[in-house]
Chain A
Amino acid sequence: MADALTIPKGHRFAADRALALISLKRRLAYKTTWLFSITLGGWQLLVGIVVWQNIIGAGSVGGYDWDAMRAYLVIGFVTSTIAWGSADWQMAGRILDGLVSIDMTKPVDFQRARAAEYIGGAVSVVPTAVLGAVAAWLLFDPQDPATPLAAVLTAVSVLLIFPMAFGIGYLSILLCFWTRRYLGIQWAKDGFVSFFSGMMVPLSLMPGWLQALSWCLPFPHFTTTPASIYLGRVDALEALGLIAAEAAWVVVMWFGARLIWRRAIQKVTIHGG
């Protein structure tokens, strides 16, 4: 860390901005893929709407009636768009291909540089999330937020998903220094996020012990936390507690990743040119 301090702050922020911009340009360079992701995200939301309408009907499941479930699904669509928006496979590819050696010859903090790239990439998913949410609102007329404060706290909770997604993505790619493969890690990570967040099925439908286990992990904050705050399933104090926990996970993952990086760079074994 003392090392980073030798670089003037202005340069560091300029480098962060440039890295974020490059990352955004790289995403936009593949316009078809970008448009495809918007379409696919919308399709997943539609499927969810149809399936849950069929399951819930006029009753309720896990404490969600059809009005609440529509809101839950739209929030899930927004949070999953953010969660899956990071191109962690690109970061992993750089480690596995040995291009990390090039990154290490640059006068930037590796983690901070990847975070800047993540931010740039994340900007490209914002239109998907916003367009999708607006369209879903117009089409499905989901329940309004429980209170104006709940709306504000939901927005804060959703914003915190960006650094959470980076933290989980970055921690998972660091494992490549040991595993030399990313595919299995990615599957596990994606599985954990979609299952324990409540994206796949609301956590309230799971057995108590599984719910308890979920809340020991960072994943519920990806969907259950914002949805619970929005729908008023938690009061204002509990909502603040959840947001504090979310922020704490961001901090823990950031500094935890720094500790892991220190071990990981000792595992760098790039042979040949």
Chain B
Amino acid sequence: MPILEARSLSKRFRRADKASGFKGALKHLVQRKYKNFTAVDAIDLEIEPGESVAYVGPNGAGKSTTVKLLTGILKPTEGTVRVMGRDPHTERIANAHDIGVLFGQRTQLWWDLPVEESLKLLKHMYGVPEADYKARIEKFDELLGLGEFMPALARTLSLGQRMRADLACALIHDPKMVYLDEPTIGLDISVKDRLRAFLRQLVDDGTTLLLTSHDLADIEEVCERIVVIDEGRIAYDGPIEQLKAHYITTKAVDLVLDGPADVGSLAEKFPHYEWSAGEAASEVVVTYESARFTTAEVLGDVTAHLRPRDLSLSEPSIEDVIRRLYAGELTK
């Protein structure tokens, strides 16, 4: 039975349709006009217990709105959501008890108090027994280095510290279902690595995770399944590996030659490969279909006719695939 189930989930908002300038403002005051726009459009989504799902899409695609619908913050315009059998909006309090939520761009720390105070308050809100609270704080200290800034005022924390503290706040009650909306936004690479390792551990421990991120490394390192949303609709839903297998059908070899590369003559000589100029005049890129040719075959052909000074292998990243999905070049 899915832990989360959304059926034909839609959310439409009303936006003021106001002309710019003073005249526009005055006109809007007298004659108000609004436009409806659809942020989430008939989404069907099921998540099984223990799954780690990446929910990705370009800015304004409807990611955060979906998270707010799934967490009960927003009421759907149409459709239904069930999280652990409950409607998260009408049964908000009971639902909130079993979920953990982190919005990377908003903190849940009390700004003018030490981090410890916020965590203690959450302990009481969720009714966490003292022994469990202490055990979890110790674990967070070990994995997130929480101890170093527990006594510090939230407003004095660095962004990385703030995010780690917010993550601890989202998980202090050991929720069954966790929603993380941009948990690594604005963080440096070392903090990102630490957070990703922590999230992997969380998933290994059986927590169900829904993660939205613009950082595709977060997704590849933490999640097994990816849901791509664009213009409020799901463009792809499946395992990340399957997405790669379906859409990453080509590989490329970047060659650095001794002199200028003649792409035209190479294309004539090897028409079954695709040739393109590299960044420098002496660089050339040969792209081939990985299902038809092995990398060894390609290298054999190429090195028999050219004497590259250097070469490197590359394959399109998941980022490229998603970019192409957003651009509508790929379909499910």
Contact residues of A with B, CB < 8 Å?
3-4, 6-8, 10-11, 14-15, 17-19, 22, 25-26, 29-30, 97-99, 101-102, 104-109, 265-266, 268-273
Task: Decide yes or no: A101 and B126 within 8 Å by CB, A25-B117, A268-B73, A273-B185 being known contacts.
Answer: no
Cross-chain contact of B94 among A30, A102, A107 (Cβ < 8 A):
A107
Contact A29:B93 (CB < 8 A) given known A17-B124, A105-B99? no
**In whole angstroms, what is the CA distance A197 to B283 when docked?**
83
Q: Using Cβ atoms and an 8 Å threshold, which residues of chain A touch B127?
A: 7-8, 10-11, 14-15
Chain A residues positioned under 8 Å from B92 (CB to CB): 3, 104
Q: 11 A-B residue contacts at CB 8 Å?
A: A3-B94, A7-B93, A18-B125, A22-B113, A22-B121, A25-B117, A105-B72, A107-B96, A270-B73, A271-B39, A272-B105
Using a CB–CB cutoff of 8 Å, the interface residues on chain B facing chain A are: 13, 39, 64-65, 68, 71-75, 90-94, 96-97, 99, 101, 103-108, 110, 112-113, 117, 120-127, 181-182, 185
* Residues from chain B with Cβ under 8 Å of A10 in the complex: 127
Query: Which residues of chain A are near B126, meaning CB under 8 Å?
Result: 11, 107
- Binding site secondary structure of chain B: mixed
| Number of A-B contacts defined by CB within 8 Å | 105
Residues from chain A with Cβ under 8 Å of B101 in the complex: 102, 105
Instruction: Check if B68 sits within 8 Å of A3, measured CB to CB.
Output: no
Q: In the complex, what distance in Å separates the CA atom of A91 from the CA atom of B12?
A: 27
Set of chain B residues within 8 Å of A7, measured between Cβ atoms: 93-94, 97, 127
User: Given the complex, which residues of A lie within 8 Å of B74, measured CB to CB?
Assistant: 268-270
Query: CA–CA, A17 to B122, complex, Å?
Result: 12
In whole angstroms, what is the CA distance A4 to B92 when docked?
Answer: 9
Do A98 and B106 touch (CB < 8 A)?
A: yes
Chain A residues, CB < 8 A from B73: 101, 104-105, 268, 270
CB < 8 Å neighbour of B103 from A8, A26, A102: A102
A26 contacts across to B, CB distance below 8 A: 110, 112-113
Give the residues in chain B near A97, CB-CB below 8 Å. 106
A18 to B75, CA, bound (A): 29
